[in-house]
Amino acid sequence: MKPVFTVTKGMLPVSTSYCPGCTHGVAHRIIMETLDEMGLLGKTIGVAPIGCSVVAHQFMNVDMCEAAHGRAPAVASGIRRVHPDKVVFTYQGDGDLASIGMGEIVHAAARGEKFTTFFINNGIYGMTGGQMAPTTLIGQRSTTSVDGRSREQAGMPLKICELLATLDGPDYIERVSLDSPAHIRAAKKAVRKAFEYQVAGKGFTFVELLSTCPTNWGLTPTEAMKRMREEVTAYYPLGVYKDTGKEAE
Amino acid sequence: MSEKVLMKGNEAFAEAVIRGGVRFYFGYPITPQSEIPEFMSRELPKRGGKFLQAESELGAINMAYGCGAAGGNGFISSSSPGIALMQEGMSFLCGAEVPVTLLNVSRGGPGIGSIQPGQADYNQVTRGGGNGDYRIPVFAPASIQEAVDILYEAPSIADKYRNPVMVLADGLMGQMMEPVMLPEPKHAFTSEEIPAAKPWAISGSEKGERSVVKSLRLQPEVLEAHVEHLYEKYAEMEKELEKVECEGLEDAEVVFVAFGTMARLAREAMELLEAQGIKAGMIRPISLWPYPYRAFDGISQKTKAVISVELSMGQMLQDINLGVKGRVPVRLIHRVGGMLPTSLEVVEKTKKILEEVR
């Protein structure tokens, strides 16, 4: 009998440490399933960030290292110089990438570094307990903006896809969401496209995955999905922000 | 093939690490070492290597971390304020046991300080500015030849211990020219050779066991065991890497302690003092960590004072006192801010100190 579903070898057979309803698990799975389906598991090197997913290497079944806070794109640039023929990716949260690591991500993108960055944007510092992130929406409560983020006090949230799309270095930039089965399937397509571009020798590829943090949003997992679908995507529109493959067609 | 050539310090340093097996350079421009990235950008691509100019020193040290974690032999050079920015990275490299060769062509401080030579990085490089329990071997050569010999071996030492290794030069050494004998190039690992040569490295290859390079250890007992393991390694380094040169300690009335270019100046002062009938000796630490404390046991009964000659406000005095153990008065002759003492100035100050301690 042919099995209709098997668990990907890309994920190690252990429980993750992520909170119930958090979408890190979904993001991990679609990335690792894609590598598995493309036959790349034994040829891939991943870089984990600082944040909840610092432990991604305990779940993702490829060679991995941790990077200092925000420095994953620099670390991946170093790895890429040593192993020009492997698949390299970074997996980074919004505090890591959009705040402390802004210099590294912008320059890696501008250099057209041949690796893929998966940007998990849940609009909050999860691991440290729910502080305001550079991506926290106006009005959103956090432990450092208890009355809700205000423009006067903290400025405006950063739109990373839009910002990186102004650069000539990247080959592919897309924002996806993990709020529904249909969107998760679309997200997996984006992940695959990024890896396909990388294998084809193209430059920097970037997929932003809008994610939930029910624990620090103070919502149930279902409410968190609803908020992401309605409020978060309103500020962070889904879509392809750059695709040199398409432009060439 | 080894060959004798006349070279500027910074270029000789770069050539030495390439011959020592380095194929990857990451750096950010900073005076007085900018000839090194310039040289590397020209030379590495010709020799199967790669040069990458980083967006900052933070970028550079973390690129080197990625390179080392992936099994490559990386090299970074910078100068004092740039080295300060890299301290977080050095803590990560030590915690994750990633090798890299570092060169600090030091200048004046604090802050942006000056671009003139200085030795006020002593505490920064021997004590470390990063967080946690870690150590980095530091060598302070006094000639371009000695720097070349140390830099040639540094990548192998870094690989052996899976730890960063630092060479501390100063702006004077970087800029001066001296004849040097360049050693025969060592074999540099290709990316295909890495999985077998460094099975711990993240090489993205199907080698049986998956590799993870990390410094996070959330369980207290696991982190404790890891730090104990690091310190067993550091104990080995203390046994194997200590390097010192002692001169004329048997009958010296005064003993200078100096490293790098200040040792050359102290050497001149020794000759001038000898001509005036004062016997001077010298302890020249070549490794600043591990520090050659035992060398101070060679100081004789005849010695009236031990004098540190430094381009800092006496940062080495703490180590000297640990070596001297109160047996002889310890004094300091120093200039800072990029000012250098002359050998005559050292002679005069030494005579004053001797009068005072007699």
Give a yes or no: residue A11 inside a domain. Answer: no
Chain B: give the shortest CA distance to residue A46, in Å. Answer: 9
Chain A: give the shortest CA distance to residue B211, in Å. Answer: 5
Q: Which residues of B touch A55 (CB under 8 A)?
A: 216
Q: Which two tokens stand for residue B343?
A: 């050998």
Helices (H), chain B: 9-19, 35-43, 57-69, 80-85, 87-96, 122-127, 144-161, 171-175, 194-197, 220-241, 261-275, 317-324, 343-357
Angle at alpha carbon of residue B79, lines to B307 and B284, rounded to 5°? 25
Give a yes or no: residue A9 inside a domain. Answer: no
Are B92 and A65 in contact (CB < 8 Å)?
A: no
Are A68 and B88 in contact (CB < 8 Å)?
A: yes
Give a yes or no: residue A3 inside a domain. Answer: no
Q: Cα separation of B49 and B73, whole Å?
A: 10
Q: Which domain holds residue B255?
A: 245-357
Residue B149: CA atoms inside 13 Å, Cβ hemisphere, count? 12
Q: Which of A62, A65, A103 has its CB closest to that of B69? A: A65
Q: Which domain holds residue A42?
A: 24-248
Are A124 and A104 in contact, with CB atoms under 8 Å apart?
Answer: no
Reported as a pLDDT band with limits 50, 70 and 90, residue A229 is: very high
Q: Which of A48, A82, A88 has its CB closest to that of B72? A: A82
- Supply the CATH number for residue A237's domain: 3.40.50.970
Are B175 and B140 in contact, with CB atoms under 8 Å apart?
Answer: no
Tens-place pLDDT, residues B153-177: 999 999 999 999 999 998 889 999 9
Characterize the bridge pairing of strands B287-289 and B138-139. Answer: antiparallel
Q: Which of A47, A54, A83 has its CB closest to that of B216? A: A54
The verdict on B148 and B33 lying in the same domain is yes
- Supply the CATH number for residue B321's domain: 3.40.50.920
Are A63 and B202 in contact (CB < 8 Å)?
A: yes
Reported as a pLDDT band with limits 50, 70 and 90, residue B1 is: low
The verdict on B253 and B237 lying in the same domain is no
Tens-place pLDDT, residues B207-261: 778 999 999 999 999 999 999 999 999 999 999 999 999 999 999 999 999 999 9
The owner of tokens 């962070």 is A236
pLDDT of residue B241: 98
Give a yes or no: residue A7 inside a domain. Answer: no
Are A64 and B213 in contact (CB < 8 Å)?
A: yes
DSSP conformation class of B211: P
Are B213 and A66 in contact (CB < 8 Å)?
A: yes
The verdict on B138 and B263 lying in the same domain is no
Q: Cα separation of A112 and B272, whole Å?
A: 60
Strand, helix or coil for residue A196 = helix
Residue A57: CA atoms inside 13 Å, Cβ hemisphere, count? 25
CB within 8 Å of A18: residues ≥ 6 apart: A24, A25, A52
DSSP conformation class of B301: T
Chain A residues within 8 angstroms (CB to CB) of chain B: 42-45, 47-48, 54-55, 57, 61-68, 71, 74-88, 103-104, 106-107
Give a yes or no: residue A14 inside a domain. Answer: no
The verdict on B105 and B150 lying in the same domain is yes
pLDDT of residue B339: 94
- What single letter denotes the amino acid at residue B98? V
Q: How many domains does chain A have?
A: 1
pLDDT of residue B128: 86
- What single letter denotes the amino acid at residue B227? V
Reported as a pLDDT band with limits 50, 70 and 90, residue A2 is: confident
Are B319 and B291 in contact, with CB atoms under 8 Å apart?
Answer: yes
What's the rounded mean pLDDT across residues B94-111? 96
Are A83 and B203 in contact (CB < 8 Å)?
A: yes
The owner of tokens 């910074």 is B10
- What are the φ/ψ torsions at residue B243 (nearest 5 degrees)? -140, 130
Q: How many domains does chain B have?
A: 2
Q: Which of B50, B62, B215 has its CB closest to that of A71? A: B62
The verdict on B255 and B350 lying in the same domain is yes
pLDDT of residue B183: 96
DSSP conformation class of A23: S
Q: Which two tokens stand for residue A109?
A: 């993108």
| B323 has a pLDDT exceeding 80 | yes
pLDDT of residue B209: 87
Q: Which two tokens stand for residue A23?
A: 């979408």
Q: How far is CA A183 from the centre of its chain?
A: 15
The owner of tokens 């941790």 is A66
Reported as a pLDDT band with limits 50, 70 and 90, residue B3 is: confident
Listed residue (A83, A76, A114) closest to A201, CA to CA: A114
The verdict on B272 and B198 lying in the same domain is no
Strand, helix or coil for residue B35 = helix
Average pLDDT over chain B reads: 96
pLDDT of residue A186: 98
Are A103 and B55 in contact (CB < 8 Å)?
A: yes
Chain B: give the shortest CA distance to residue A85, in Å. Answer: 9
Q: Cα separation of B43 and B47, whole Å?
A: 7
CB within 8 Å of A140: residues ≥ 6 apart: A123, A124, A132, A148, A149
- Number of CB pairs < 8 Å for A and B? 133
Are B214 and B202 in contact, with CB atoms under 8 Å apart?
Answer: no
pLDDT of residue B205: 86
- What are the φ/ψ torsions at residue B330 (nearest 5 degrees)? -115, 130
Are B72 and A76 in contact (CB < 8 Å)?
A: no
Q: Cα separation of B299 and B244, whole Å?
A: 14
pLDDT of residue A248: 72
Q: What is the DSSP string of A42-83?
A: GGEEEEE-SSGGGGGGGTB-SEEEE--TT-HHHHHHHHHHH-
Q: Which residues of A touch B214 (CB under 8 A)?
A: 48, 57, 65-66
What's the rounded mean pLDDT across residues B85-114? 96
Average pLDDT over chain A reads: 97
The verdict on B163 and B297 lying in the same domain is no
The verdict on B199 and B298 lying in the same domain is no
Scanning B1-30 for CB atoms below 8 A from A yields 24, 26
The verdict on B269 and B319 lying in the same domain is yes
pLDDT of residue A200: 98
**B123 vs A: CB within 8 A:** no
Tens-place pLDDT, residues B269-302: 999 999 999 999 999 999 999 999 999 999 999 9
Tens-place pLDDT, residues A151-174: 999 999 999 999 999 999 999 999
Scanning B189-228 for CB atoms below 8 A from A yields 191, 194, 202-206, 210-216
- What single letter denotes the amino acid at residue A141? R
